[in-house]
Amino acid sequence: QSALTQPASVSGSPGQSITISCTGTSSDVGAYNYVSWYQHHPGNAPKLMIYEVSNRPSGVSNRFSGSKSGDTASLTISGLQAEDEADYYCSSYTTSSTHVVFGGGTKLTVL
């Protein structure tokens, strides 16, 4: 069981928007603005999409956005494209000695 809880799957049609949630606790997601999101196409290296809740690294499309409320962070992808179909993982710094925790991953299907 992963430390952070994500839905196993979400889906959407091209052009639509979807949101993936990531629920933690007051020791991780709720404690700091240190939530990251990663995109993973199986067989490839995971890619950092969002860091510190809502910041995008250079080169990441502005269709990707992040937010947080309390112990739950969210990743929103607008204008869905076929290439967005992938697994998405959230992570957070944690006050525990584990240092960083991850979610179980969400499989995004573009219909």
Partner 1 sequence: QVQLQESGPGLVKPSGTLSLTCAVSGGSIVSFNWWSWVRQPPGKGLEWIGEIYHSGSTNYNPSLKSRVTMSADKSKNQFSLSLRSVTAADTAVYYCARGSETSTWIFDYWGQGTLITVSS
Q: Tell me how long the chain is.
A: 111
> Does the protein bind partner 1 through residue 64 (CB under 8 A)?
no
Closer residue to partner 1 in complex, CB, 16/98: 98
d(CA 18, CA 42): 20
Place of tokens 């204008």: 79
State the Cα–Cα distance between residues 86 and 91, nearest whole angstrom: 16
Q: Give least dist CB 89 to partner 1, A.
A: 6
What is the nearest approach in angstroms of partner 1 to the Cβ of residue 52?
A: 7
Enclosing H/E stretch for 54? none
Taking CB under 8 A as the criterion, the residue among 10, 31, 48, 60 binding partner 1 is 48
45 touches partner 1 by CB under 8 A: yes
Q: Which of 13, 64, 10, 11 is nearest to 37 (CA)?
A: 64
Question: Is 95 an interacting residue with respect to partner 1 (CB under 8 A)?
Answer: no
Interface ranges with partner 1 (CB under 8 A): 2, 4, 34, 36, 38, 43-48, 51-52, 57, 89, 91-93, 97-105
